[in-house]
């Protein structure tokens, strides 16, 4: 299993990387959505965990581009916002889960691995 995680926050990318390493999951973190899209051509990706704010686009833009790429993978969104309208949009986009940063996010994320 290979997981890509993308977030504007270097701190959160590091936290996700350590979490996935503890689960024995090979992963790579990126700050930019374009870097995620480029990586898709290099390896088979099982899952993309994306924040909603990236250095070069929103998480929703990245999700759309991933869906149009033709690659099949699970997409999980992580957010610091509890904006119900945004979460509903992500659900309608086919995101497997939207997890809020903080609290018990690790337990919620662990359910998908």
Residues 113, 95: Cα–Cα separation, whole Å: 15
Residues 81, 69: Cα–Cα separation, whole Å: 27
Residues 76, 112: Cα–Cα separation, whole Å: 9
In this prediction, residue 49 carries a pLDDT of 97
Helix (H, G, I), strand (E, B) or coil at 56: coil
Whether this prediction's pTM lies above 0.85 is answered by yes
Domains and CATH numbers, the chain: 2-110 (3.40.50.2300)
Q: What are phi and psi of 81, to 5 degrees?
A: -105, 145
pLDDT values of the chain reduced to their tens digit, one per residue, 113 residues: 999 999 999 999 999 999 999 999 999 999 999 999 999 989 999 999 999 999 999 999 999 999 998 888 999 999 887 778 888 989 999 999 999 888 788 898 889 88
């Amino acid at each position: 299993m290979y997981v890509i995680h993308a977030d504007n926050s270097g701190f959160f990318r590091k936290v996700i990387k350590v979490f996935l390493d503890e689960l024995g999951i090979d992963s790579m973190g990126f700050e930019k959505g374009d870097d995620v899209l480029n990586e898709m051509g290099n390896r088979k990706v099982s899952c993309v965990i994306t924040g909603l704010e990236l250095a070069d686009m929103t998480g929703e833009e990245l999700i759309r581009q991933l869906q149009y790429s033709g690659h099949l993978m699970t997409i999980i969104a992580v957010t610091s916002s509890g904006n119900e309208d945004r979460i509903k949009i992500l659900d309608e986009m086919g995101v497997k889960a939207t997890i809020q940063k903080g609290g018990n996010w690790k337990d919620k994320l662990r359910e998908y691995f």
